[in-house]
Amino acid sequence: MISFSTFPNRYAKQPKLQSFALDTFVQGMTAPVSTNTIIKDDLPLWSPTVFQGNRCQSNAQYISCLVFDVDDGETSFDTWKLFHIWDVIAHTSFSHSDEHAKYRIILPLEKPIPVCDWNKAWRRAIDIWVFVGCQGMPDMKALKDPARMYYRYALPKNKSGIHQAVSEKGFHRLKLDYSKIELPKPKQVKQRPHNTTMTVSEAIMDTRLRDAIANRAGGVIAGNRAHHITCPRCSQSSAYFFIDIEFHGNPMKGWQCNHKNSCGGFGNLAELI
């Protein structure tokens, strides 16, 4: 059986747990959910992660499939054939073209991986990518994110001829052995003197607090970004902020509204709760 989560659209917060036999899962991943799609945002999505509660990293429980999201344009869709020794599924992404290949390679795992081990597991996944002889690199942000969701396979209007989905039965499912992976040593944290409290500036940098604010504000967390939050200025679901400010060296500590032309709102996170 393969357990995973589905979402009716990109804005959905509550996952629907699904469990199917491998053959049924393969059929679902390779059959287009739409054959005449105009806007990608209308498509349903899925995640290889099982959650306890809304979709966010703190609610992720375990991951049932390894997904390589490839859009660097350096490797062809046929790269999936390098994984033929395992059960493998592959399909083109919505924006795939002859000039710039974009696709996903899905490898059902022999055993689901607890989210607490994912930091080691994704590093092992890169070893496998290199070992089979793949060129280029998959989307690392997607690979690292244990709460990632992906659009289902669909055929765009008037461009369906270049899109495809395939699967092959290997010798077995992938067993992702990450037992020998060593994690980088954590950065040294300066000890706070006793009887002192955290300043407001320090608190607003705390990823746990920012994650909690995102959930309290009803946001959707995708990777390092919390979005689809009600803007205090224009009341549209267009405010967003970043969870880990230092992840990409982004200096934006507060929230900002996507409706820059009509709103341009921004402010501190306290306004969102």
pLDDT tens string 12-59: 889 999 999 999 999 999 999 888 878 888 899 999 999 999 998 889
- C-alpha gyration radius of the chain: 20
Ordered alpha helix ranges (H), 71-217: 118-131, 140-144, 200-203, 207-216
Q: What is the mean pLDDT of residues 189-216?
A: 73
Residue 200, pLDDT score:
65
More confident residue, 268 or 18: 18
Residues 156, 134: Cα–Cα separation, whole Å: 27
Q: Reduce the DSSP state of residue 139 to 3 states and report it.
A: coil
Residue 148, pLDDT score:
94
Residue 135, pLDDT score:
83
Closest of 241, 63, 214 to residue 146, by C-alpha: 63
Q: Which of 54-68, 143-157, 240-254 has the lowest mean pLDDT?
A: 240-254
Mean pLDDT of the chain: 87
Q: What is the mean pLDDT of residues 197-211?
A: 76
Whether 255 has a pLDDT exceeding 60, the answer reads yes
Task: Name residues whose C-beta falls within 8 Å of residue 162's C-beta, 6 or more positions apart in sequence.
Answer: 92, 96, 97, 98
Task: Name residues whose C-beta falls within 8 Å of residue 201's C-beta, 6 or more positions apart in sequence.
Answer: none
Residues in the chain: 273
Q: Is the dihedral of CA 75, 80, 83, 89 positive or negative?
A: positive
257 membership: H or E segment, kind and range: strand 255-257
pLDDT tens string 133-189: 988 889 998 999 999 999 999 988 877 678 899 999 999 999 999 988 888 776 555
C-alpha distance from residue 182 to each of 26, 120, 123, 188 (Å)? 33, 7, 9, 17
